[in-house]
Amino acid sequence: MKILIIGAAGMIGQKLIIKLLSIKSLNGKKIKELILFDVIKSPKIEDSHIKIKIKSGDLSNLMVSKKLIKDKPDLIFHLAAIVSGHAEKEFELGWNINTRGSWGLFEAIRLMGKGYCPKIVFTSSITVYGAPFADRISDEFFTTPLTSYGSQKAVTEILLSDYSRKGMLDGIALRFPTICVRPGKPNLAASGFFSGIIREPLNGQMAILPVSPETRHYFASPRSAINFLIHAAELDLKKLENRISLNMPGLSATVQEQIESLKRVSGNNTAKYIQHKPNLDIQKIVGSWAKDLAATRAKRLGFIAEKNFDEIIKIYIEEDLNKI
C-alpha cells in the first residue's frame, strides 16, 4: 500500500506518520511507501521497513497536484489547511489553499483516469456549523458557516462528495473538534488559546485567555485525532450511505472546566499563569462555532474520543509535555 499525506509537516501529520510507521499495515495491507507532502519539507524520517518520499510545494497549483498523483497513492490523508484565524484575515489565501487546492487535488485524480480511484480521508471541521444552533447539534443539522475557514471546509466537503458520487475517488470527511492540547508553539488558529491555557501553564509560562471563562467548546485530543484518521482509513465507506461527512465524537467543556481540570491534574498553582485579556475578534469567531455535537453516526461506526478533560490533559503530559 502506498500512502500520501498532504500536510505532513504539521502536528497531526507528524503524529500520523509515527502511528503509521508503528502499525506498518492498514486492513491487513502492508504499508510499502509513505509520500510526505507540505508547503515546507517534512522532517527527514528513516525507516528500514517503509520507503519514504518527502516532497514540498504549493497545493493551490494544479501542476503540483498532478505530480503528486503520478505516484498513484492508494490512500490519501488530506490534512493541509490555512487555519481559522489566518483564513479569516487572509481571504484569498484561505480560499486558494483550503478550497482551490483541494479541488485541484480531486481534479488531478479525475484526470489520471484509467480506473484510478484512491481513498481520501479529509479533515474537515465543526466550523461548518454556525449560530444560531441547538445546545447539542445532531447529525441532521444544516451547515451554515459564519467564518471563511468554515465555508472553505463546507465547500470542500461538497466537492469531495460529488467526486465520490461520480466514482472518481472514495472520500470521507471527518469534522474534527478542536484538537487540544496541541504541543509546540501557538499557531494562527483562533482556537489556539484553548491549548495555550493548558500547555503554557504546564510549562511554567504565561497564557492569554481572550474569551470569557463561561465560553463552551468541543474538544478531542491529538491521540483521538490520529485514531479517527486510522479508523476512517480502515472503514468500509459503503457504510456511510452516500453521506460522506461525519461529525467526530468529542467532549463539551467550558473554559472554566478546562481550568478546573488543569488544577486537578497539576495542582492549583498552575492556574496563576493564565491571564484574562479579552479579544473581541477571537470572541466573535469562537462564538460562531458549535459547542457540542451528538456525533451519533460516527459513534455507531466505531469512532471514540475522551470522556472528560482530565483525560485530555493527562494525554498531553504523557506524550508532549516540554515540547514547546
What contacts 92, CB < 8 A, 6 or more positions away? none
**pLDDT given at position 324:** 52
pLDDT tens-place string over residues 58-74: 999 999 999 999 999 99
Give the length of the chain.
324
Domains of the chain: 2-178+220-247 (3.40.50.720)
- Residue 6: is its pLDDT beyond 90? yes
> Could you tell me the pTM of the whole model?
0.95
Q: Find the helix or strand (DSSP H, E) in which 176 lies.
A: strand 170-176
**Nearest alpha carbon to residue 8 among 52, 49, 46, 48:** 52
Which residue type sits at 208? I
Return the CA Rg of the chain. 19
Any catalytic annotation for residue 116?
no
The active-site residue, picked from 116, 129, 149, 273, is: 149
Q: What single DSSP character describes residue 139? A: T
Residue of 114, 297, 94, 92 lying closest to 188 (CA atoms): 94
pLDDT value of position 186: 76
The angle, 0 to 180 degrees and rounded to 10, between the axes of the packed helices 255-266 and 192-202 is: 20
C-alpha cell of 145? Answer: 458557516
11-15, long-range: CB < 8 A, 24+ apart:
11/179, 11/182, 11/183, 11/184, 11/222, 12/79, 12/123, 12/179, 12/222, 12/225, 12/226, 12/229, 13/38, 13/42, 13/77, 13/79, 14/42, 14/43, 15/222, 15/225, 15/226
CA 178 to CA 321: how far, in whole Å? 19
**Tens-digit pLDDT profile for residues 196-232:** 999 999 999 999 999 999 999 999 999 999 999 999 9
pLDDT band, very low/low/confident/very high, at 323 (cuts 50, 70, 90): low
